[in-house]
Amino acid sequence: MPPRNIHIILVAIFFAVVCFVTAKRAQRAMLVGDAIDLIDRYYVDPVESASLVEAAMAGLTSSLDQHSEFIPADMYSAFNDVIQQEFAGVGILVEQPEAGKPVRVITPLVGSPALAAGLMPADEIVSIGGEDVSKMEIRDVSNRLRGPVDTDVVIGVRREVDDKTQELEIRLTRKSIGLESVVGDHRDADNHWIFRLRKYPEIAYVRVTSFGEKTESELRQVFLEELGSGYEALILDVRGNSGGLLVSAVNICDQLIDTGRIVTIKTRGGKIDSQYDATPGTLVPKGVPVVILIDGNSASASEILAACLQDQGRATVIGTRSFGKGTVQNVLPLESGRSALKLTTARYYRPNGKNIHRIDNAPEDEEWGVSPDEGMAITMTDEAYRELVQQWQRASFPVSSQIDNEGSDAVKDAAQPEQSESESESAVENNETLPLKPPAASSKDAQGRVIDPQLNKAIEFLKRKRVEQSTPETRQAA
């Protein structure tokens, strides 16, 4: 048989196989399409096709792990806001204490049009652009507050002043609002973060709230510009940080170590997809001791950071065992980028070769997550944890004569999810939705402020480390 005929036969076989596989896939897809068509035609009540498609997509991912999900078009923009750390809006944090009641302002954000225009905590939003929103869901109100940069929006607010109700209309021009992911201990009078503990300024304190596209550059700026070299110890706080971008965690690890493995990524079948190693040079001097604080809500990228620094001997881990999320998700666009499928595609392994992922119903005595170093496990009561979250939130609010961070009931209640739903008008959500799993002994001080036993343990450890490093002769003689 001539070679040409053999080639034609092979090509024909190839296309036949492709057509067969495509037909099988199409047949399965047609099953879903036929079901949607039958529901659309015969179900007792009319149902929007888009809702059926979303329900079908949610059903497809429900049999996978908890971190795989369909992101519909109306949520995809907000999802990207979190990763990109930026949204277009007026810059307010809002809450809805009671369904069917007006959404109210918790606080305007630092540098926002809302702060400049005089929006106040506890202002109730009753209209947007002339439309009554007093009974709308918080997400619908948030979506109406968002819009293109440099566009105007008129917000009608109801304000209580000296037991009298005022109705105001405030015109705002939307702008690009940055979402900070690296914060300090407190703000100064100019609303700049101070990355040192108030009582112990020789100790640098940096809290990473998420791992987004700008987190690495934010942290680099803190180390190079805000802190310089005038600090003796460093506390990295990733408590409550549910993760974010893998590359962000890897690059931050590289800022802190100059040699050794950071993380290994393995795909289906245990095949190594990529390995990340540190490069020479660090932004934190080698002689500066480092503590990293973790808890049961520290997950994913937070665990990559903690595990790397622990395994490489660069940091002491204090707190409680982390969440145990050792999988990697890819966001795969659908509908030409209008929606997406977030799909678990790989697992990551810490430098010591272990995967920290916690399977469903894993017993406490199994090895998963990142555990504190020996003698460094410090628990907190649920009440103390909630108080700590509120304390963090109040610290983020702008310092202004108009904003009473301590006195506003709206501010005090803002961090209590069991009582109210709260979000910024960007409709921002964390990249991962994790259960609130506070670790259980703590109390308040004489002024009623929450005592943070995990932070106190870190301070105690670093002060002791400082003494040990400053008296080598004493250590040798002992």
Closest CA to 335 of 53, 131, 13, 73: 73
Q: Where are the beta strands (DSSP E) in 84-123?
A: 86-89, 92-96, 103-108
Among the options 81, 123, 185, 311, which is catalytic?
311
Q: Read off the DSSP letter of residue 135.
A: T
- Residues 258/283, Cβ–Cβ less than 8 Å: no
Selection from 241, 245, 238, 364 nearest residue 310 by Cα: 238
Candidate list 68, 248, 300, 442, residue with the active-site label: 300
Q: Is 65 a catalytic residue?
A: no
Is 325 part of the annotated catalytic residue set?
Answer: yes
**Residues contacting residue 260 through CB under 8 Å, at least 6 positions apart:** 277, 278, 312, 351
Active site residue 311: yes
**How many angstroms from the chain centroid is the CA of residue 455?**
21
> Rounded CA gap, 201 and 103, in Å?
39
Burial class (CB in 10 A: 0-12, 13-18, 19+), 262: buried
Where do the DSSP E strands lie in 298-399? Answer: 315-319, 327-334, 339-349
Tell me the three state secondary structure of residue 360: coil
Choosing from 214, 325, 342, 457, the catalytic residue is: 325
Instruction: Please identify which residue in the block is written with the tokens 């799909």.
Output: 343
| Phi/psi at 252 (5° precision) | -70, -40
283 neighbors 220 (Cβ within 8 angstroms): yes
Q: What is the token pair recorded at 20? A: 């067969």
Q: How many CA atoms does the CB half-sphere of 80 hold within 13 Å?
A: 15
Q: Which residues contact 319 (CB under 8 A, 6 or more apart)?
A: 239, 293, 294, 295, 298, 372, 376, 377, 378, 439, 454
Annotated active-site positions, please?
300, 311, 325
